[in-house]
């Protein structure tokens, strides 16, 4: 049985993109504003210009460092489920917080604390969701800096799944490290050996890594926390104004965290990932979910496989905040590219509004689209049983198959597509709601039926940790 495979690069084009990447690393290099990292690269054999903080790496050294990199990354959570990131495995991440929330009643608005609770419960309750990511944005009903801490607290007391962390500063990363240590201790887990979280490390396009991000990587390397390469060049402003040129910058930047990590800690897992966007040359706006996204995603999975690295990337959302045909078309195209292309971590279920917003309904509707992408990517089974020659011979011309042995054996199988999150009634029953209303009702039901999954002892430890952080002590009681 052959799976659906999506490719946009031939084998020779993959080789050419790699060769050009080696040229960028050797001839152009990248900037690292961190003296310790510069010294490590110099000792490892790179060409380092310390006054200008630049590093150029010969092709032989790049090859050697990539050989040291792990082809797998292991993730887990309080639920004890082990996620083996790499190979043909697929895992899905849901969003918890974004700058905007698209509310079923009020439309586009800024998030409030209740959104964090609801979105976490939905992600915790959906079997399709394996990990969750709480982006670093304040909620509008609690002032900073308490807003950041309270959203962390509410998220963590409702989640037993793996956490993908996107730190905005070394202080923020240290808070995550400290609270994970508290959780591990309360849960009787080895804090260093249990990868309860993975840590995103941003490369600033074009080709720059700032000192604080090196420190964030070092914190991840203190424990078993995999590092997520976070690369977001914008075509026309921070990368060349061509699809291939932007992919070249993105591929180079995605390897930089891998190279840095192997210089510090050979074998520590780094997950390859790119997320380019396009500059609107009329307005200067960043356009994140245009159709080029599908090309970037497929090319990225091809390059990640070429380097034998675990691969991550966004699930893919939509340019619009509406639940309309554009939303469905864009979301499905990018999810199919992620799944059939071979991405291992497919992140950001719930994303819309040009990656500036999310909704509870979008998380669930995209789960339905994931069901569809997974089904189609599996391909067609043309085994002797499924070709069903014996059934055709038995029924003959003008026969029927309702009572055929194959029909009876396949009735409750996954031979044909099904999803609880999509309207598959075909219009025969006008009372069946559409996908958006189905998703809204599902969200309401999940929140209403939720029973705490985080043990009380761990909840108490989390709340105690954050109680000491709040400037307004009454926040801890909310």
Q: At what angle do helices 325-341 and 292-306 cross, to 10 degrees?
A: 10
| Upstream peptide bond of 206 is cis (omega within 30 degrees of 0) | yes
Q: Break the chain into its structural domains and give their ranges.
A: 68-377
| pLDDT tens digits along 424-464 | 999 999 999 999 999 999 999 999 999 999 999 999 999 99
Interstrand relation of 100-103 and 107-109 (parallel, antiparallel or unpaired): antiparallel
SS3 63: helix
- What pLDDT is attached to residue 2? 77
- What pLDDT is attached to residue 316? 85
| pLDDT tens digits along 391-410 | 999 999 999 999 999 999 99
SS3 356: coil
| Nearest Cα to Cα of residue 435 among 355, 356, 333, 331 | 331
| pLDDT tens digits along 256-284 | 999 999 999 999 999 999 999 999 999 99
Buried b (16+ CB within 10 A) or exposed e, 119-146: bbbbbbbbebbbbbbbbebbbeebeeeb
310 pLDDT more than 70: yes
- What pLDDT is attached to residue 473? 87
| Nearest Cα to Cα of residue 57 among 13, 16, 17, 23 | 23
Do residues 276 and 233 make contact, with C-beta atoms less than 8 angstroms apart? Answer: yes
- What pLDDT is attached to residue 136? 86
3 pLDDT more than 90: no
- What pLDDT is attached to residue 1? 66
Q: For the beta carbon of residue 414, count every other beta carbon within 10 angstroms.
A: 10
DSSP letter for 120, please: H
Average pLDDT value for the chain: 96
| pLDDT tens digits along 18-52 | 999 999 999 999 999 999 999 999 999 999 999 99
Q: Which two tokens stand for residue 7?
A: 């490719």
- What pLDDT is attached to residue 366? 97
| pLDDT tens digits along 111-167 | 999 999 999 999 999 999 999 998 888 999 999 999 999 999 999 999 999 999 999
Q: How far is the C-alpha of 208 from the C-alpha of 422, rounded, in Å?
A: 43
The fold of the 68-377 domain, in CATH, is TIM Barrel (3.20.20)
Q: At what angle do helices 146-156 and 170-186 cross, to 10 degrees?
A: 30
Do residues 337 and 298 make contact, with C-beta atoms less than 8 angstroms apart? Answer: yes
Do residues 281 and 51 make contact, with C-beta atoms less than 8 angstroms apart? Answer: no
478 pLDDT more than 80: no
């Amino acid at each position: 049985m052959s799976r659906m495979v999506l490719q946009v690069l031939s084998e020779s084009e993959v080789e050419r993109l790699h060769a050009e990447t080696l040229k960028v690393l050797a001839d152009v290099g990248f900037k690292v504003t961190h003296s310790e990292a510069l010294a490590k690269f110099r000792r490892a054999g790179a060409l380092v210009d310390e006054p200008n903080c630049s590093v150029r790496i010969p092709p032989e050294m790049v090859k050697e460092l990539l050989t040291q990199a792990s082809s797998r990354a292991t993730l887990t959570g309080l639920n004890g489920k082990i996620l083996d990131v790499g190979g043909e495995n697929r895992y899905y991440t849901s969003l918890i917080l974004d700058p905007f929330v698209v509310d079923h009643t009020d439309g586009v608005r800024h998030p409030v604390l209740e959104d964090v609770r609801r979105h976490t419960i939905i992600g915790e309750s959906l079997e399709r969701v394996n990990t969750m990511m709480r982006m670093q944005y304040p909620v509008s009903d609690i002032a900073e800096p308490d807003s950041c801490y309270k959203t962390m607290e509410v998220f963590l007391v409702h989640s037993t799944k793996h956490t993908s962390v996107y730190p905005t500063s070394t202080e923020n990363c240290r808070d995550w490290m400290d609270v994970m240590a508290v959780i591990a201790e309360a849960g009787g887990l080895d804090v260093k050996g249990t990868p309860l979280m993975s840590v995103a490390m941003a490369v600033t396009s074009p080709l720059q890594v700032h000192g604080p991000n090196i420190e964030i990587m070092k914190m991840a390397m203190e424990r078993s926390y995999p590092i997520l390469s976070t690369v977001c060049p914008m075509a026309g402003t921070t990368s060349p104004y061509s699809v291939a040129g932007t992919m070249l910058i993105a591929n180079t930047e995605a390897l930089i965290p891998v190279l840095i990590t192997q210089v510090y800690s050979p074998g520590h897992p780094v997950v390859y990932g790119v997320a380019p966007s396009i500059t609107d040359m009329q307005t200067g706006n960043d356009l994140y979910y245009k159709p080029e996204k599908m090309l970037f995603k497929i090319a990225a999975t091809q390059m990640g496989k070429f380097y034998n690295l675990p691969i991550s990337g966004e699930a893919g959302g939509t340019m619009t905040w509406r639940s309309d045909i554009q939303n469905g078309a864009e979301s499905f195209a990018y999810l199919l590219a992620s799944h059939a292309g071979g991405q291992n971590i497919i992140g950001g279920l719930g994303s819309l509004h040009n990656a500036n917003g999310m909704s509870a309904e979008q998380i669930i509707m995209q789960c339905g689209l994931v069901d569809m992408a997974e089904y189609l990517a599996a391909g067609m089974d043309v085994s002797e049983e499924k070709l069903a020659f014996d059934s055709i011979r038995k029924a003959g011309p003008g026969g029927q198959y309702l009572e055929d042995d194959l029909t009876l054996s396949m009735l409750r199988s996954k031979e044909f597509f099904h999803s609880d999150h999509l309207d598959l009634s075909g219009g025969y029953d006008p009372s069946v709601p559409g996908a958006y209303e189905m998703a809204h009702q599902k969200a309401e039901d999940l929140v209403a039926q939720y029973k705490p999954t985080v043990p009380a002892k761990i909840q108490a430890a989390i709340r105690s940790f954050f109680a000491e952080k709040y400037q307004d002590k009454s926040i801890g009681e909310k």
